[in-house]
Amino acid sequence: MTVWRRNALVWRRLMGASVLLHFGEPLIYLLGLGYGLGRFVGEMAGMPYFTFLASGFIAWSAMNVASMESMWSVYTRMVPQQTYAAILATPAEVDDIVIGELLWCATKSLFSGTAILVVAALLGAVNDWTAVFALPVIFLTGFCFAAPGLIITALARGYEYFNFYMTLVMTPMFILCGVFYPINTLPAPMQSVVQFLPLTHAVEIIRPIVVGQPVTNLGLHLGTLGLFGLVTAWVATILIRRRLIQ
Amino acid sequence: MPLSPPDPKSLPASAPLLVHCQNLSKNFNGKPAVAGLDLDIPPRICFGLLGPNGAGKTTTLRMLLGQSPRSGGTLEIFGEDIELNRRQIRQRTGIVPQADNLDPDFTVEENLRMYGSYFRLPTHEMNRRIPQLLDMVELSARAADRIDTLSGGLKRRLTLARALVNDPEFLVLDEPTTGLDPQARHMIWSLLHRMKRNGKTILLTTHYMEEAERLCDQLMVIDNGTLLAQDSPTGLIRKYCESDVLEIRGGISKETVGRLPPSCRTEYAGESLYIYSNHAKPLLELAQGLADTACLHRHSGLEDVFLRLTGRELRG
């Protein structure tokens, strides 16, 4: 928890820029794409396109923010700043660092998701206060995507390394996992592939909650997401330990 | 839990060892970095670990701190196995690493607070200790400054203050004065003297023989991960080196060297010739005969011992 607290204190100092990023970016995306594209698309999956996009966007942002933090920021703390080397001279252990960072990445996802939810609500995309139940799912989504990010960081030899993960893993999920259109419009084989991508399940839970519809297969989606998060967190702990303790 | 050191005089002569290692070894990818080192450090002394670059000093320190698992042997600190009690041992240990790893996202004072929080020090304890520590390393005026505005010497002083935030019984310093100017070095030395007087046990590595001689009660010279010699500074000099040395820079004929009495030992290093002897007389006579050649007669020191034990070739 001390690692979480450290990051939170640093974040508080840079909050201005961070708040601008969290509110400004989705505002531009949602206004530009939601209204711009929405005018041509009209409705999608039984809801205004703006609402569809905003709800998918929250899930994507949870993935994106946690991934960025768990790669660029964690690498910065681990390698150039040697923050973890300093921490490992105290009673704190590698496990404490990994858990602290995972929780911190999830917390940042929560900030970002909350910001988008507020923007979406102000723009009329949210119908019911029950949308706040999306917040714990956003936190979970952040946690689940921070863990593979840490795996990449543990293996990284430099910042360039993260581009592979961005291009090969994150961008396909961004495009394919139902953020912009329902996955049932994909070709059948593609649909089966997409079922194995964790972002799909995050979207499948977060969208109905935000929109105010019942979630179908909640257990399946939560279970898949949770299992993915736990397995990757376990691997991340092993790899980070191997990197820090030699 | 603030630990006030017991009065050294009140302790039994056979106080338990603070560090006790037997046959300690570490391999990296099958290559030995430390190969069967026995290391015992009694409490309340300053122990120096010397060796050329790559000798295994930092690896040994990392194992002692539980930052690197050993490949073999036993390792006890405060009578506990480091692998089993890392948290408890580190709670009582302070570490000054070789490379600066102060937190650049925080100010001078915040660095100490944050570090204290890793030790779970209560706030009132930190409020009491941190101003004292800043005062001790003369950084009170810079308390609110960011780390990147500090010079190398100030950073090192802050790192030392940080290592003391938990009031450790055992202080480990990896090359604490490398890269510092003489003023900063002397300040660190006087602080370390004070630590020792306060009953702390100090383990340090250094490349400065003057530092080792001034600070350390016991010295261990290692190379290639094995022990070469261990004694007090004066003991090492007595045991491994003649009392006097004549350094000659530039040309000197082989015949002149050949005429030296057999009790003299010679060593060539580049352009220089070192002649060691337990008697000053033949050296002084030789020096007088070398009117045009730059030469220096002096008592031999720890550096001569070090070079004799570890050789003069350059290390990586």
8-state DSSP, B107: B
CA end-to-end span of chain B: 43
Mean pLDDT, range B210-233, rounded to an integer? 95
B91 neighbourhood in chain A, CB within 8 Å:
91
Query: Does B98 touch chain A if contact means CB atoms closer than 8 Å?
Result: no
Shared domain check, B162 and B76:
yes
* Contact yes or no for B171/B201 (Cβ under 8 A): yes
DSSP B189-231: HHHHHHHHHTT-EEEEE-S-HHHHHHH-SEEEEEETTEEEEEE
| Phi and psi at residue A186, to the nearest 5° | -75, 155
Selecting from A85, A87, A245 the residue whose C-beta is nearest the C-beta of B118 gives A87
8-state DSSP, B142: G
Mean pLDDT, range A79-86, rounded to an integer? 96
Q: Going by C-beta distance under 8 Å and a sequence separation of 6 or more, which residues neighbour residue B227?
A: B37, B38, B220, B221
* Contact yes or no for A237/A98 (Cβ under 8 A): yes
* Contact yes or no for B33/B59 (Cβ under 8 A): yes
B110 neighbourhood in chain A, CB within 8 Å:
9
Shared domain check, B95 and B233:
yes
CB pairs under 8 A between A and B: 61
Q: Summarize pLDDT for B266-308 with one digit per residue, the tens.
A: 888 888 889 999 988 888 888 887 767 788 889 999 999 999 8
Minimal Cα–Cα distance from B178 to chain A, Å?
19
Three-state SS at B173: strand
Q: Residue B311 domain-assigned? A: no
Beta bridge pairs of residue B21 = B39, B75
Q: What is the pLDDT of residue B11?
A: 47
B99 neighbourhood in chain A, CB within 8 Å:
82, 85
Q: Residue B306 domain-assigned? A: no
- Torsion angle, alpha carbons of B32, B35, B40, B46, to 10: -50
Shared domain check, B204 and B128:
yes
- Give the model's confidence band at B316: pLDDT under 50 very low, under 70 low, under 90 confident, else very high: low
Do the chains contact at A89 and B90, CB–CB below 8 Å? yes
Q: What is the pLDDT of residue B248?
A: 87
Shared domain check, B248 and B230:
no
Q: Summarize pLDDT for A26-53 with one digit per residue, the tens.
A: 788 888 888 888 888 888 998 999 999 9
Shared domain check, B258 and B296:
yes
For residue B155, the enclosing domain spans: 10-237
Shared domain check, B248 and B225:
no
Q: Going by C-beta distance under 8 Å and a sequence separation of 6 or more, which residues neighbour residue A66?
A: A105, A106, A108, A109, A141, A142, A143, A144, A145, A146, A149
pLDDT at B12 over 70: no
Shared domain check, B155 and B74:
yes
Selecting from B97, B114, B120 the residue whose C-beta is nearest the C-beta of A89 gives B97
8-state DSSP, A187: -
Which of B261 and B190 is assigned the larger pLDDT? B190
Integer Cα distance of A109 and A113 in angstroms: 6
Three-state SS at B162: helix
pLDDT at A125 over 90: no
Nearest residue to B16 via CA among B81, B66, B77 = B77
Instruction: Tally the residues of chain B.
Output: 316
Shared domain check, B273 and B158:
no
Tokens of A93: 């252990």
Q: Going by C-beta distance under 8 Å and a sequence separation of 6 or more, which residues neighbour residue A25?
A: none
Pairing of strands B46-50, B218-223: parallel
Q: Summarize pLDDT for A160-203 with one digit per residue, the tens.
A: 999 999 999 999 999 999 999 999 999 999 999 999 999 999 99
Mean pLDDT, range B177-184, rounded to an integer? 91
pLDDT at B2 over 60: no
What predicted TM-score, i.e. pTM, was given to this entire model?
A: 0.90
Selecting from A86, A88, A90 the residue whose C-beta is nearest the C-beta of B103 gives A86
- Give the model's confidence band at B118: pLDDT under 50 very low, under 70 low, under 90 confident, else very high: very high
For chain B, helix, strand, coil in percent to 5 are 35, 25, 35
Q: Of A21-25, A231-235, B122-126, B215-219, give the lowest mean pLDDT range.
A: A21-25
Tokens of B79: 């009578």
Integer Cα distance of B304 and B308 in angstroms: 6
Q: What is the pLDDT of residue A97?
A: 97
Residue B163: which CATH number?
Answer: 3.40.50.300
B211: alpha, beta or left, given left = phi > 0 and alpha = psi -120 to 50? alpha
Do the chains contact at B97 and A90, CB–CB below 8 Å? no
The domain segmentation of chain A, as residue ranges, is: 11-244
8-state DSSP, A185: G
Q: Residue B127 domain-assigned? A: yes
Query: What angle separates helix B152-163 from helix B108-118, to the nearest 10 degrees?
Result: 30
Three-state SS at A223: helix
Q: What is the pLDDT of residue B9?
A: 46
What average pLDDT is seen over chain B? Answer: 90
Shared domain check, B212 and B279:
no
B104 neighbourhood in chain A, CB within 8 Å:
81
pLDDT at B8 over 50: no
Determine the residue among A14, A88, A242 to mutate to test chain B binding: the one whose Cβ has the most chain B Cβ atoms within 10 Å: A88
- Which residue among B190, B208, B237 closes a domain? B237
- Give the model's confidence band at B14: pLDDT under 50 very low, under 70 low, under 90 confident, else very high: low
pLDDT at B109 over 60: yes
Residue B272: which CATH number?
Answer: 3.30.70.860
Do the chains contact at A90 and B65, CB–CB below 8 Å? no
Shared domain check, B277 and B144:
no
Integer Cα distance of A116 and B25 in angstroms: 55
- Which residue among B237, B261, B285 closes a domain? B237
Which of A95 and B271 is assigned the larger pLDDT? A95
Q: Residue B22 domain-assigned? A: yes
For residue B237, give the H/E element and its range. Answer: helix B233-240
Do the chains contact at A91 and B119, CB–CB below 8 Å? yes
Q: Going by C-beta distance under 8 Å and a sequence separation of 6 or more, which residues neighbour residue A185?
A: none
Look at chain B and report how many structural domains it folds into.
2
Q: What is the pLDDT of residue A16?
A: 85
Selecting from A2, A10, A90 the residue whose C-beta is nearest the C-beta of B90 gives A90
* Contact yes or no for B155/B179 (Cβ under 8 A): no
- Give the model's confidence band at B255: pLDDT under 50 very low, under 70 low, under 90 confident, else very high: confident
DSSP B267-312: EEETTEEEEEES-HHHHHHHHHH-TTSEEEEEE--HHHHHHHHH-S
A85 neighbourhood in chain B, CB within 8 Å:
67, 97, 99, 101
Do the chains contact at A92 and B118, CB–CB below 8 Å? yes
* Contact yes or no for A142/A66 (Cβ under 8 A): yes
Integer Cα distance of A179 and A201 in angstroms: 11
A9 neighbourhood in chain B, CB within 8 Å:
106, 110, 114
Q: Summarize pLDDT for B183-218 with one digit per residue, the tens.
A: 999 999 999 999 999 999 999 999 999 999 999 999
Shared domain check, B202 and B92:
yes
Integer Cα distance of B299 and A203 in angstroms: 79
Query: Does B57 touch chain A if contact means CB atoms closer than 8 Å?
Result: no
Shared domain check, B181 and B79:
yes
